[in-house]
Structure 1
Amino acid sequence: MKKIIVAIAILFSFSANLATAQGINEPVLATPKKSVSTQEIIVGNDRDEYGCIGSAGYSWDAKKQECVQTWNNETATITGAIKTAIEPTSAPIFGGDIDTHGCIGSAGYSWDAVLNTCARPWEAETTFAWAEKMKITTRLTVDTFEAEKNITREEAAAFIARSFEMNIFPARITTLMEWQPIDKNQIAPEFVSSVNFVKNANIIKATADNAFTPKSNLTTKDAINMLIASKTTEKMTGTEVFTFAKNAGLSFDETKLDEVVSRRIFVMWLRQIAEYTPTTSVQPK
């Protein structure tokens, strides 16, 4: 019996060695490792662009200019090791410059005392709203105003004439003489009186052949000359005219004075010139 048991033991031992030799390993029970939740977040490992640690409940407060925990009444700031080399104040915070009226300067908004709202002065909506409020346009909507359409010389004359009627420009004593340019028949009937006014008020001058060219697009140079001649009767040189215009806030390129002007630009310039109060004479001493 003992011989049989020994034989069986030898047989099992031989089988195990043979399996190992053939590369077959018996499964080994591994020691269970501690389970790690996939939802676990390492605090401090999720800083945002301002250096605020979201997993700790911090977010950037543009008003306080610091990282805060919004639910904490005693808002804490991140100090010491938590603070990184990122300095939030090193770059302007878009929307972090709200003025006393609630206008965001970094977005181009400023307070418009005439429209009683925050506005961006160069936008079509602002230009049209001002022209409508001041009663110098007969257009009913910003779409019919066609702000980006080039303004013609007769349309510019109409805007200026109506600006005098609404006391936007200082009163001007002129004659009622009817101007007879050689192209008078080209002037639209609704613009005839306006053209007569700007001519008699010395706001425009006839061309060499006594023409007005009413349908021609107004150039930058003519627009500036007409607007400043509407504001003041002071005699100025060409250089002084451009200096006056730039002091009033007009933005233009003196190397591109022949470029045409849109209705939006013309009305925006009209307003800038009308609201400008020169501190000194533009005439050289």
Structure 2
Amino acid sequence: MKKIIVAIALLFGFSANLATAQGITEPMLVTPEKSMPTQEIIVGNDRDEHGCIGSAGYSWDVKKQECVQAWNNEPTTITGAIETAIEPTSAPVLGSDTDTHGCIGSAGYSWDTVLNTCTRPWEAETTFGWAEKMKITTRLTVDSFEAERNITREEAAAFIARSFEMNIFPARITTLMEWQPVDKSQIAPEFTSSVNFVKNANIIKANSDDMFAPKSDLTTKDAIDMLVASKTTEKMTDAEVLVFAKNAGLSFDETKLNEAVSRRVFVMWLRQIAEYTPTTSVQPR
């Protein structure tokens, strides 16, 4: 019996050696790799533990304790319009709405005709890039632009005065009268002419104490008032000014008009107001 088994083994060994000698190789069994399905990012299917939709630009604000969009001056809670406007089952696939310039709309990008690239208008790089292109800032880099720092009243005056110089706003006839506010000595020398301009052009008014408060943070209300007054000389009520601003695309919370405005938001608003073409006239008082 053992002899038979040995004989069979020798026979198989001989056959294998013969096949190899003849150039016949035994095929190797390859285990096919499982292909990973391509995961599409759908706007609305990436809510975090707080319910914030990342693909829609929302993130959790620890201080405010709510979901906010970084590019808006005011927070928008996840329980607002966003939850009804964006549903995972019907929302567009991120990247499926690329325009002719290659800008992905669902990611917040659109073609910037001034910067000649795809941008998101609320980002610091965009606001700085536009301000630099239009020559209304002397800062050389986006870091030195300090986009998230609150803008002061004298800085806002300088941005507006330069915007008139660069024909961003319609030309305005003003007097050359030098304004003498009580706190004139507090105005930085490089901003004196700008402050005089916005005062003489009726773009900003002094408070009851005839003080300009140049170093104070500019409030949301004052920012809107200044920008709308830069765009038009038409007389408006406070309510009409807010309507005009919203029609121009400005996003703000009417219950928080006394909050400070960052340099980024102010320049973004300045551009929105400057590029806005009113469709109807506001009735004067």
Matched, 1:282 2:285: no
Matches within 5 A, 1:1-285: 39=31, 90-283=90-283
Q: Which residue of 2 aligns with 1:23?
A: none
CA shift in 2, pair 1:40/1:215, >3 Å? closer
- What is the alpha-carbon root mean square deviation over aligned residues? 2.2
1:100 Cα deviation after fit: 1.0
Once residues 254 and 223 of structure 2 are traced to their aligned partners in structure 1, the CA distance between those partners, rounded to angstroms, is 13
Give the aligned length.
210
d(CA) in 2 for partners of 1:120, 1:281 = 30
For the residues of structure 2 that align with 1:171 and 1:238, how far apart are their CA atoms? 24
> What is the CA-CA distance between 1:233 and the residue it aligns to?
0.3
Tell me the TM-score normalised to structure 2 length. 0.70
Greater C-alpha Rg: 1
**Does the CA contact (< 8 Å) of 2:169 and 2:230 recur in 1?**
yes
Amino acid paired to 2:215:
K
**SS of match in other structure, 1:172:** coil
Q: Kindly provide the CA deviation profile for residues 64-113 of structure 1, in whole angstroms up to 9, marking residues without a partner as x.
A: xxxxxxxxxxxxxxxxxxxxxxxx98442111110011100011100000
Paired AA for residue 208 in structure 1: S
Q: Which has the higher contact order (CA 8 A, sep 6+)?
A: 2
Distance 1:101 1:199 in 2: 42
Structure 1: which amino acid aligns with 2:164?
Answer: F
**1 CA distance for matches of 2:38 and 2:119?**
32
In 2, the alpha carbon distance for the partners of 1:188 and 1:215 equals 9
- Three-state SS of the structure 2 residue aligned to 1:278 is coil
The gaps in structure 1 that reach 5 residues or longer are 1-36, 51-87
Q: Partner residue of 2:13?
A: none
**Distance in structure 1 (CA, Å) of the matches to 2:36 and 2:125:** 43
User: CA separation in 2, counterparts of 1:91 and 1:206?
Assistant: 49
